[in-house]
Chains A and B, each alone.
Chain A
Amino acid sequence: MVILNGARAIFAVGVVAMAAAPFLFGANHVVLLTEFMSMLVLAIMWNLLAGYADIVTVGQHAYVGVGAYAFFGFAALAGFNPYLSILLAGLVALAIAVPTMILVFRLRTAYLAIGTWVVAELLMLASGKLNAWGGGSGTSLPISIVLGFGRARGDRLATIYWLAFALAAVAMLATYFLLRSRIGIGLTAMRDNEEGAAAVGVNITYARILCFLGTAPFLGIAGAVITLQKLRISPPASFSITDWTVFIIFNVVIGGIGSFEGPIIGTIVYFLLRQYLADLGAWHLILLGSFSIVIILIEKRGLWGLIRRGLGDDLIPIAHKPSANFEGAAKAGINATASDNRQ
């Protein structure tokens, strides 16, 4: 209990420190932390879908790219206020998510995942056809837009950092409240026992639709924020499957899928590994991938699952699990035939 409260205290201190980061750290660190916040948002979103709503996707880089291109369109081409453009980028991502969802929800499990990948590919190729956006090689963000976030570099970095931080904070709060709501409890129930959840009256379809559509605006805004960091858009970079999907998946799995703390830990681990393994190039990716497989075979709940065994409860309490005895009896009795099919 002492350790748990101590850990919670550390977490709280960390959040405060992050909020004040531009005052506490130098420019290089602020840049790094901005990137951290963006990756964290992506991780939280993917985790919500795959870890709670049981929708595994490998195509979320679609919305990052859409957000980036939409932001460029509103801010650089249409001349809208940059902050407004960021929000509109999220809306455009949501608009794209609706028909995508209608299409890919016709597929199940792994097919759904690859379906999202197909959509992402299509969007990437289509964006390469947009001449005003630089076509196949993309283009840079106009200096005027960049300066709109602050004339001095320090101010700019701080502003962009706070945008990223705000996005991450909102993402966390939104996820927190969703998971503690009826929908969230229903999702967790569904994840553990789909038939039982349906019997209790949880509208699974509605919950999954809500989650799928709900993540889109966050991903789109993240795309806009990432563009502010990279100062460029291009189809392969803005829609990069490696950066915005593959790494994210590995991070969340390592940190702990299906938990609130997992994406945070996973993203931290990613940045630590990147610092020390920067020289390995391509093997960095292979190492991360292998590590994630090892982790998921040892402890399905990832590093957080390992830590939690010691802590005894969630850092940020969301729900409780039934005892192992209860689960075992349920499997033997109620699910006598259903569990066969799962083998």
Chain B
Amino acid sequence: MTGSHKLLAVDDVSVFYEKFRAINHVDIAVEAGDVVSIIGANGAGKSTLLKAIIGQADHVEGRISFAGETIIGRTTEAIVASGIMLVPEGRRLFPSLTVEENLRLGWDVGRKGEIGFADVWRLFPVLEDRRRQKAGSLSGGQQQMVALGRALLANPRLLLCDEISLGLAPLVINELYTLIPQIKARGIGILIVEQDIERSLAVADHFYCLLEGRVSLSGRPGEVNRDLVMKHYFGL
């Protein structure tokens, strides 16, 4: 499979936890500058897939290539430095570090590039006021902003977003999702993993529906019937 023009190519990938097959022969592709949504119920394997891509899954079979180069077996450190960055489920900031220190870590681990602190403050003005505040004392929405800002400061070519709407109020989620097109406009590919079907399909160019570790449905959001999506989401 020639994937040299694909930003990310996940070919026939299976991920195991001991003997349990959490991801089952999955094929996913992300083109440069595309937004791809992966939807699925809890336990469908969405987070596992992202962990496999970022290099944090122990037992992975198949092929994963990023900009034509294979990344299975490389360290997360190397993968991040080459241009993939994860916004982890549950934010996973470092609570005793300040906002600024959390953001700077993103810069330190990433590919140095155009996006800098000025961009992050512009995107999230509320964070600039709180730059010296400990990240653990922020609200959920603000923490999600820091997590996103941290990922952007790594200047990724591909951004992996794991359930960024989890635990946040609807207004806050709306605000966050307005950022997706802005990030896409900078040429960054985005792979969004979500339980919230509506919002993620609204911003996506392509989507995949995961059910019990398999891709049960895929396509362009506009071309697929909503009811069909629901059926595959719930496995009916």
A interface vs B, CB < 8 Å?
Answer: 324-325, 327-329, 331-333, 336-337
Contacts and interface: CB of A to CB of B under 8 A. Distances in A.
B195 interface: no
A332 B213 CA distance: 11
A332 B19 contact: no
A254 B89 CA distance: 41
B90 A331 contact: no
B210 to A, nearest CB: 13
B47 A327 contact: no
Nearest to A323: B19
Nearest to A326: B20
Contact of A328 (B19, B43, B48, B90): B19
B117 interface: no
A324 B90 contact: no
Secondary structure of the B contact surface, majority rule: mixed
B20 A331 contact: yes
25 contacts: A324-B19, A325-B18, A325-B19, A325-B20, A327-B18, A328-B16, A328-B17, A328-B18, A328-B19, A328-B20, A329-B17, A329-B20, A331-B17, A331-B18, A331-B20, A332-B17, A332-B20, A332-B22, A332-B48, A333-B43, A336-B43, A336-B47, A336-B48, A337-B89, A337-B90
Nearest to B20: A328
Contacts of B19: 324-325, 328
A333 B90 CA distance: 16
A13 to B, nearest CB: 39
A18 B20 CA distance: 46
Contacts of A324: 18-19
Given A332-B20, A332-B48, 17 more contacts: A324-B18, A325-B18, A325-B19, A325-B20, A328-B17, A328-B18, A328-B19, A328-B20, A329-B17, A331-B17, A331-B20, A332-B17, A332-B22, A333-B43, A336-B43, A337-B89, A337-B90
Interface centre among B18, B43, B47, B48 (most CB of A within 10 A): B18
Nearest to A331: B17
Contacts of B22: 332
Interface centre among A325, A327, A333, A337 (most CB of B within 10 A): A333
A324 B18 CA distance: 7
A328 B22 CA distance: 9
B212 to A, nearest CB: 10
Interface in B66-118: 89-90
Contacts of B17: 328-329, 331-332
- 10 tightest CB-CB pairs across the interface, nearest first? A328-B20, A328-B18, A332-B17, A332-B22, A329-B20, A328-B17, A333-B43, A331-B17, A328-B19, A324-B19
Interface in B9-43: 16-20, 22, 43
Contacts of A327: 18
A326 B232 CA distance: 25
Interface in B101-139: none
Contacts of B89: 337
Contacts of B90: 337
Contacts of B18: 324-325, 327-328, 331
A337 B89 CA distance: 9
A39 B79 CA distance: 53
A327 B19 CA distance: 9
